[in-house]
Structure 1
Amino acid sequence: MERESMEFDVVIVGAGPAGLATACRLMQISQDTGQELTVCVVEKGSEVGAHILSGAVFEPKVLDELFDDWRDKNAPLLTAVTHDEIHMLSSATAARAMPNALLPKTMHNEGNYIISVGNLCRWLAERAEELGVEVFPGFPASELLFNPDGSVKGIQIGDMGVGEDGQPKDGYEPGMELHAKYTVFAEGCRGHLGKQLIEKYHLDNGKTAQHYGLGFKEIWTVPSEQHELGKVVHTGGWPLTEGASGGGFMYHMEDNQVAVGLIIDLNYKNPHLSPFDEFQRYKTHPVIAKTLAGGERISYGARAITKGGLNSLPKLTFPGGMIIGCDAGTLNFAKIKGTHTAMKSGMLAAETLAQAMMAGVEPGKDLDCLQDRFDESWLKEELYTSRNFGPAMHKFGTYLGGAFNFIDQNWFGGKLPITLRDEKPDYAQMAESSAYSKIDYPKPDGKLSFDKLSSVYLSNTFHEEDQLCHLRLKDARIPIEVNLVKYDEPALRYCPAGVYEIVEEAGEKKFVINGQNCIHCKTCDIKDPSQNITWVTPEGGGGPNYPNM
């Protein structure tokens, strides 16, 4: 099929912090140098910020670099952190507050802000448009386009109006092709095009396997007497036991609201574990429940995070483009922060692109000089000093790993002369179901804990019922014949939205995919032990519509 096309100097895939920072910095340089550039950002969400979910405590130094007048421009940094608390939860009722002197210094948040990253992205998109960037929400980049020499030519926007049977419906609209001198991929964690690029160009050669976590977040309005504006709480330990690891958080925001969440490392072994139900249990701990009691839950969401850090960071460039932000894995896990690092990676990409185009470098080249710019930046320094944080927790557990990280961060500034590595992918960590007992999770009480379907309702998720399923099985037999037999089909539990179920028809078990429930967390693409599920973009605008996550 011959499709309509548009030409740009730079096409950016994803209107998250990394993609929008790239766009803004490119146009700033364009204005400063008088070099005219055409820059386009495409975003699969129905609006900018609709698919953005993060804790989030934000480190503003990167915003000082990008817009030093951000305060005058009313950037949505409304709540400064006033104080930190860290609690180790040893059981469902017991906890011990950790003295600040015993914490890795990366866990201190003086000078940072509690924010909605979705609202920050909306603000960045406004700045980008003011600078001349074209921002197109509701247009998912569905396929890669290549030049005859193998370099990336651009992307194809997904078709609209394709039925579940793969055939065009009434109102079918073929997706447009967007061609560019350079294409920047900033899709966020486990971007489906980024995944293909890493494989095609072998960008992860010589790197440790990438690692991931699944992050849950809810926003609650709580009674004013239980609210402490600017308070940041982090927890470790319960309910994550028996080989599962991660940590929880609660951030006190403006308007008597708190963000509460749990991050579960996706290297857990027990196939009976349900991350969603672990999060529901977490909220019942007295440390958390005393704040939420009597409150109202107003938002829910979940999203995978890329947390392998520098050890797993792929090569950032390839012929015709770049991969940045959480699509590459620039999150600083020692700080549990990825927004400022994603934005910095985008700014470095923009400066490299602008320099190449001003110098008349032929389009489609591999701008591997980005590596030099990265190596000379504070981003590389920050990721280097945190390189051992995640592997230490994986290898030694919460307590011994925490002790290692305290020594590494506080005594050696992250520069111990050793580098720990975790070479085994998260999906390969899963044990067979016979090795573990099933977990008896309590029923939700409707006050602190809830079921999946009512939670998905709060995420404002919508997909057209009659559309091609965006969760693809490489082999339709594997869920029943392999995963059910060996692992009690863990997709029924690791999915935080109830997408997968097994039903019985005519005496035979059948694997059912309820794609309309999908909140685009990407966990299935990451954790399926058979690596049989591939997440691709659904029709434009589908998925969650987070108002201020």
Structure 2
Amino acid sequence: MEREFMEFDVVIVGAGPAGLATACRLMQISRDSGKELTVCVVEKGSEVGAHILSGAVFEPKVLTELFPDWQERGAPLHTPVSHDEIYLFKSETDSKLMPESLTPRSMHNQGNYIISVGNLCRWLAEQAEEMGVEIFPGFAASEMLYHEDGSVKGILIGDMGIGADGQPKDGHMPGMELHAKYTVLSEGCRGHLGKQLIEQFHLDNGKSPQHYGLGFKELWTVPDELHQPGKVVHSGGWPLNQGASGGGFLYHLENNQVVVGLIVDLNYSNPHLSPFDEFQRFKTHPVIVANLAGGERVTYGARAIAKGGLNSLPKMSFPGGLMIGCDAGTLNFAKIKGTHTAIKSGMLAADTLGEALMAGVEGGKDLNCFQDRFEQSWLHEELYRSRNFGPAMHKFGTLLGGAFNYVDQNWFGGKFPVTLRDDKPDYAQMAAASDYPRIEYPKPDGKLTFDKLSSVYLSNTYHEEDQPCHLKLTDANIPVQVNLAKYDEPAQRYCPAGVYEIVEDEGQPKFVINSQNCIHCKTCDIKDPSQNITWVTPEGGGGPNYPNM
């Protein structure tokens, strides 16, 4: 098909913190050099911030590097952290408040802010557009485009108005090609184009496989007497203390808002485990109830996070572009923070791109010099110091792993003379259903705990129903013949949005995909034990519409 195309110096896929930081820094370079650069950002969400979900406690030092006058510009950092509380939940009723002296230094949050990363992205988009960046929300990058020599040429925007049968409907709009001297992938965790390029260019050779967690988040409004702006709570242990690991968080923002969430590591073995229901159980612990009682749930979301760190970080340059932020996996799991690292990776990318463009380097080249710039930055130093955090928790469990990390972080400053590795992929950890008893989860009470469908409703998720399914099965027989037979089809439980079901059809089990429920968390792409599900972009603008997550 002959398609229309547009040309830019740089095309950025994804209007998250990394992509928008790249755009802003490129325009600063353009302004300072007097040489005009054309920069475009493509965002699959209906608006900037619609698909952004993060805790989040934010380190502002990186924002000071990007915009020293961020306060005067009105950046949405309104709630400084007042104090930290770190708990070990021993059981559903018992807990121990850990003294500050016994917690890893990386968990201390003095000088940080509790923020909505979605609102931060909206603000960054405003700064970028004021400097001349073109931002196209509601358009999904569906395919990579290549030059004849195999280097990346740009991206293809997915067609609009294709029916479920694959045929054009009334109002069909063919997708446009966006050509660029350099293309930057900042799609977030498990980006589907980034996943393809890692495999195509062997960017992960010699690295541990990426590891993931599934992060849940709810935003609540609580009564005045419960609200403590700046309070940060983290927890480990129950309910994830039997064959699963992870941790909880609860942050008090401004305007009587409290965010509560749970991260479930996706290396768990028990196929009967339901991360969503573990999150609902987590909220019933007395420490959490004390912060939410009498409050009202406002919205809900879930998203996978890449937490493998430096050991799993792929080569971030490829012929014709760069991969940054959570698309590559720059999150610092020792701090449970990825926004400041994503922004820094974007700034490093922009400095590398700006240098090449100003020097007239021919587009399509592999910017290997990015690696040197990265290794000389505080971002690399920070990721190096946290390289053992995740593997220690996976190998030794919450208590012994926590003790190792305390010694590593507090005594050795993250430079313990051993590098731990975790070389088994998360999906390969799944055991047979017969190896574990079923888990009976309590029914939701509708006040503190809820079901999946009412939760998805609060995520404002919408997809045009008459479109091709964006959850692709390599083999349609595997869900029933393999996954149901061996694992009791865990997609019914690991999906946080009720997308997957096993129903009875004429006396036989049938696998059903309710793709309209999908909140784009990517868990199925990660955790399916047969690696049979591939997540691709649906029609642009589809998915959740988070207001301020």
TM-score class normalised by the smaller sequence: over 0.9
Q: Which runs of 5+ in 2 are unaligned?
A: none
Shift of 1:506: 1.3
Instruction: Please state whether the residue corresponding to 1:76 is helix, strand or coil.
Output: coil
**Aligned counterpart, 1:401:** 401
Which structure 1 residue ranges, 4+ long, deviate > 2 Å from structure 2?
none
Determine if the alignment matches structure 1 residue 35 to structure 2 residue 35: yes
Of the structure 1 ranges 159-168 and 210-219, higher mean CA displacement relative to structure 2 is found in 159-168
**Aligned counterpart, 1:149:** 149
Per-residue Cα deviation, 1:419-473 (whole angstroms, up to 9, x for no partner): 0000000000000100000000000001110000000000000001111100000
Shift of 1:522: 0.2
**Aligned counterpart, 1:537:** 537
**Aligned counterpart, 1:257:** 257
**Aligned counterpart, 1:101:** 101
Query: In 2, Cα distance between the equivalents of 1:386 and 1:141?
Result: 33
Query: In 1, Cα distance between the equivalents of 2:173 and 2:467?
Result: 13
**1:9-20 correspondence runs (5 A):** 9-20=9-20
**Aligned counterpart, 2:216:** 216
Instruction: Please state whether the residue corresponding to 1:189 is helix, strand or coil.
Output: coil
Per-residue Cα deviation, 1:272-299 (whole angstroms, up to 9, x for no partner): 0000000000000000011111110001
Shift of 1:243: 1.5
Determine if the alignment matches structure 1 residue 242 to structure 2 residue 217: no
Instruction: Please state whether the residue corresponding to 1:464 is helix, strand or coil.
Output: coil
Letter in 2 for 1:295: G
**Aligned counterpart, 1:328:** 328
**Aligned counterpart, 1:226:** 226
State the TM-score, normalizing by the size of structure 2.
1.00
Query: In 2, Cα distance between the equivalents of 1:70 and 1:353?
Result: 24
Instruction: Please state whether the residue corresponding to 2:326 is helix, strand or coil.
Output: helix
Shift of 1:374: 0.3
Determine if the alignment matches structure 1 residue 310 to structure 2 residue 310: yes
Q: How many matched pairs?
A: 549
Query: In 2, Cα distance between the equivalents of 1:330 and 1:265?
Result: 17
**Aligned counterpart, 2:49:** 49
**1:300-379 correspondence runs (5 A):** 300-379=300-379
Shift of 1:358: 1.0
**1:101-500 correspondence runs (5 A):** 101-500=101-500
State the TM-score, normalizing by the size of structure 1.
1.00
Instruction: Please state whether the residue corresponding to 1:396 is helix, strand or coil.
Output: helix
Per-residue Cα deviation, 1:328-349 (whole angstroms, up to 9, x for no partner): 0000000000000000000000
Letter in 1 for 2:42: V
Instruction: Please state whether the residue corresponding to 2:534 is helix, strand or coil.
Output: strand
Shift of 1:505: 1.3
Query: In 2, Cα distance between the equivalents of 1:22 and 1:243?
Result: 40
Instruction: Please state whether the residue corresponding to 2:504 is helix, strand or coil.
Output: strand
Query: In 1, Cα distance between the equivalents of 2:505 and 2:82?
Result: 57
Shift of 1:241: 2.0
Identity %: 80
**Aligned counterpart, 1:22:** 22
Per-residue Cα deviation, 1:508-547 (whole angstroms, up to 9, x for no partner): 2110000000000000000000000000000010000000
**Aligned counterpart, 1:2:** 2
Letter in 2 for 1:331: L
Letter in 2 for 1:138: G
Letter in 1 for 2:160: M
Instruction: Please state whether the residue corresponding to 2:531 is helix, strand or coil.
Output: coil
Shift of 1:503: 1.1
Query: In 1, Cα distance between the equivalents of 2:394 and 2:506?
Result: 44
Query: In 2, Cα distance between the equivalents of 1:412 and 1:96?
Result: 26
Query: In 2, Cα distance between the equivalents of 1:243 and 1:183?
Result: 41
Of the structure 1 ranges 421-430 and 506-515, higher mean CA displacement relative to structure 2 is found in 506-515
**Aligned counterpart, 2:514:** 514
Letter in 1 for 2:265: D
Per-residue Cα deviation, 1:83-137 (whole angstroms, up to 9, x for no partner): 0000100100000000000000000000000000000000000000011000000
Letter in 2 for 1:38: T
Query: In 2, Cα distance between the equivalents of 1:160 and 1:129?
Result: 25
Per-residue Cα deviation, 1:4-37 (whole angstroms, up to 9, x for no partner): 0000000000000000000000000000001110
Query: In 1, Cα distance between the equivalents of 2:152 and 2:38?
Result: 18
Query: In 2, Cα distance between the equivalents of 1:358 and 1:48?
Result: 29
Query: In 2, Cα distance between the equivalents of 1:501 and 1:162?
Result: 25
Query: In 1, Cα distance between the equivalents of 2:322 and 2:197?
Result: 9
Query: In 2, Cα distance between the equivalents of 1:418 and 1:137?
Result: 45
Query: In 2, Cα distance between the equivalents of 1:427 and 1:49?
Result: 29
Shift of 1:165: 1.0
Letter in 2 for 1:479: P
Query: In 2, Cα distance between the equivalents of 1:221 and 1:536?
Result: 34
Query: In 1, Cα distance between the equivalents of 2:416 and 2:223?
Result: 46
Query: In 2, Cα distance between the equivalents of 1:257 and 1:345?
Result: 30
Letter in 2 for 1:409: Q
Instruction: Please state whether the residue corresponding to 1:354 is helix, strand or coil.
Output: helix
Query: In 2, Cα distance between the equivalents of 1:360 and 1:4?
Result: 26
Letter in 2 for 1:230: G
Instruction: Please state whether the residue corresponding to 1:125 is helix, strand or coil.
Output: helix
Q: Which runs of 5+ in 1 are unaligned?
A: none
Shift of 1:322: 0.5
Per-residue Cα deviation, 1:477-500 (whole angstroms, up to 9, x for no partner): 000000000000000000000000
Shift of 1:140: 0.4
Shift of 1:353: 0.4
Instruction: Please state whether the residue corresponding to 1:10 is helix, strand or coil.
Output: strand
Per-residue Cα deviation, 1:48-73 (whole angstroms, up to 9, x for no partner): 00000000000000000000000000
C-alpha RMSD of the superposition: 0.4
Letter in 1 for 2:14: G
Letter in 1 for 2:492: L
Query: In 2, Cα distance between the equivalents of 1:107 and 1:328?
Result: 23
Shift of 1:370: 0.2
